[in-house]
Structure 1
């Protein structure tokens, strides 16, 4: 392990707190090393009988954390260190640390309420306040109080106020790691960006400034894939050939994601990323960050009963997290696409997902657990109107009865790792629904065609229509194949080429 990482200064305090109190909050800024160092330290020092489970908010972060820890042990992933994400897992009988995405813990708890064989659960990047992390922590605390008083729980956060979390965890001790690995110098616009300036042009100017300021590579934060493609188009016209451009977003093929985080083969690189790069990832060679100051979030639309994506200002906490990416490997720079005066108007924290998102899956999980939102140790209570809408949807699907108790059909839906609407399609229509369900989980693959016929989208995948990029076709087929497992049937149409 790298002894220069700031987290090493507090490891002894952390180990003592885990051994004595079994519930700990760890506050450590970006770049401190908590994601890879803490699980290995707990494994080496605490003599746990069972596994350590660590939650990560995204699949890429889970894989990357597992790969990094395995490399630190000079092992391959799947030996001491494993991971489990949707549609992919690598572990074995010798695995002692398993890195999982957040929804997997909830399913583990629902199928085994005692979490047998698990000694410690680590919630990494808890400041992101995802719905699954909030629920997973609440369920874990209830398990500890009622069934497993030996279950250790560690909550790790980079930017969140620790006091409310500590109180939620029965006044758990707080261990704080000070300082980044290296200092990062922020640079703001001298005045707000002109309203008529296109985002891709303004961001491209800052990228050029960053490349002139530093000899390293540049990480750029943008709200979504569309903005990434627009900036790529502008940069491709005027960057020299020794500077590679890599996109990085959730729907990207894993091989392309890996290219973005790996060291450049030659010269330097510019990585154009969504919030996927905010947490847990060390992208090799980054010495400067360019931050658009924007984020894209899913919110519940009461008019349609569905979620929709909106683009909004990033929070100060998110901006701090992004800036920290430049200080992982050396002193860095952060170029912000807003003025210093505008920073005062940014919200301190983003709304927790439980306050803004579709709560249908959450409501089904509560019903399956046999509790309600008021009886769980939730850091933030869900939006009451949204939760009422969610329960109405579940009643319509036959997952809840009129007294809001889970039905047999609801239990069947809960076994399918998908939104209850999608799960209802799968359990009702079998393998005939798997491809439509996979398509509904993706962005519209024929959005630019102007056609609204859904059957054309199905046919485009079945016929391997070249107008749909091959990675997208393969991803949809893989998802359809995954969903087919929950029908008890087999469908050869969705084998990936």
Structure 2
């Protein structure tokens, strides 16, 4: 896989320079800028890392798998080689793994089991704007380890929407900001009907979107029950050449991977997702 160019690419030399001189960094980058997959790989050859691991906290399981798979493909490897992930009930790491993407409970347990974080050179907190309690606890524990035991440990907090200046002041850390990719967006409000069920309104909205716009359609729904009902409603009315795909954290890995990649045959898709797709993963081909 050739190395893609992301908005974050131009900022990576500054990231390396700051972490050469300092042990903390706040990095602001909009969704789609590439911070999740490009920053860990850029740090692999940093002199201060000395061959040690990079641990990256990813709040959501779907995003953790997706990030690890993308980085591994970028290096022409399988997941579990240089890049791996650990989430609840699933472990894709090996003795060769140097970038380990983990979810919040895993990071907290690692910090409790090994306060020295031996063999770890950097801890990255991705999507910190989501502000889960476990992420705040993980950062507090990592800062304590850095202050008391590991002055050389690098801590990077990455966020898409959080107030980076305020966070940088709190951490006494430099702050870098990356540009994102901006596209024109038109907002329209689809009219509801009195006493209409959610899946019926979603079906009408999707049918209109497919008829009036190109590309794939992304639909946000509250949870798995609503996704299942809307999927059943859409499959009754949409032609067979339009795929209806669910996306949530409980799906098998193979189904999640299918949603996160463009359709190999160019078929249009309707993706029914929980809020995992709001900021944690980027879906290709979505126009509506």
TM-score, structure 1 as length reference: 0.55
In the alignment, what sits opposite 2:219?
A: 220
Contact 1:15 1:46 in 2 (8 A): no
CA distance in 2, matches of 1:44, 1:280: 26
Contact 2:56 2:124 in 1 (8 A): yes
In the alignment, what sits opposite 1:98?
A: 100
Deviation at 1:27, TM superposition (A): 0.7
Deviation per residue, 1:243-277 (Å, 9 max, x gap): 01111112223332223223224311111010122
Helix, strand or coil at the partner of 2:176: strand
Contact 1:32 1:177 in 2 (8 A): yes
In the alignment, what sits opposite 1:54?
A: 56
Q: 1:66 aligns with which of 45, 65, 68?
A: 68
* CA pair 134-186 structure 1, distance change in 2 beyond 3 A: farther
TM-score, structure 2 as length reference: 0.92
Contact 1:61 1:279 in 2 (8 A): no
Alignment of 1:215-254 (within 5 A): 215-254=214-253
* CA pair 85-161 structure 1, distance change in 2 beyond 3 A: same
Deviation at 1:157, TM superposition (A): 0.6
Contact 2:66 2:260 in 1 (8 A): no
Helix, strand or coil at the partner of 1:189: coil
Deviation per residue, 1:415-446 (Å, 9 max, x gap): xxxxxxxxxxxxxxxxxxxxxxxxxxxxxxxx
Deviation at 1:79, TM superposition (A): 1.3
CA distance in 2, matches of 1:214, 1:7: 30
Deviation at 1:212, TM superposition (A): 2.9
Helix, strand or coil at the partner of 1:84: strand
CA distance in 2, matches of 1:48, 1:197: 57
Deviation per residue, 1:153-205 (Å, 9 max, x gap): 00111111113321331x2111101222x414131317x74553332233223
Deviation at 1:233, TM superposition (A): 2.4
Helix, strand or coil at the partner of 2:283: coil
* CA pair 178-213 structure 1, distance change in 2 beyond 3 A: farther
Alignment of 1:126-275 (within 5 A): 126-169=128-171, 171-180=172-181, 182-189=182-189, 193-194=192-193, 196-266=195-265, 267-275=267-275
In the alignment, what sits opposite 1:20?
A: 21
Deviation per residue, 1:330-385 (Å, 9 max, x gap): xxxxxxxxxxxxxxxxxxxxxxxxxxxxxxxxxxxxxxxxxxxxxxxxxxxxxxxx
Deviation per residue, 1:85-116 (Å, 9 max, x gap): 11111222221111111111110111111111
In the alignment, what sits opposite 1:380?
A: none
CA distance in 2, matches of 1:186, 1:136: 39
Deviation per residue, 1:206-242 (Å, 9 max, x gap): 3223323433212211111111122112212221111
Deviation at 1:133, TM superposition (A): 0.7
Contact 2:62 2:248 in 1 (8 A): no
User: Would you say 1:113 and 2:121 are equivalent positions?
Assistant: no
Deviation per residue, 1:4-60 (Å, 9 max, x gap): x11112212222221212111111111101111111111134551211001111222
Aligned-residue CA RMSD in angstroms? 1.8
Deviation per residue, 1:296-333 (Å, 9 max, x gap): xxxxxxxxxxxxxxxxxxxxxxxxxxxxxxxxxxxxxx
Deviation per residue, 1:51-95 (Å, 9 max, x gap): 100111122211111111011111111111111111111222221
CA distance in 1, matches of 2:242, 2:92: 34
* CA pair 72-202 structure 1, distance change in 2 beyond 3 A: same
Contact 1:200 1:230 in 2 (8 A): yes
Between 1 and 2, higher relative CO (CA 8 Å, sep ≥ 6) is seen in 2
Larger radius of gyration: 1
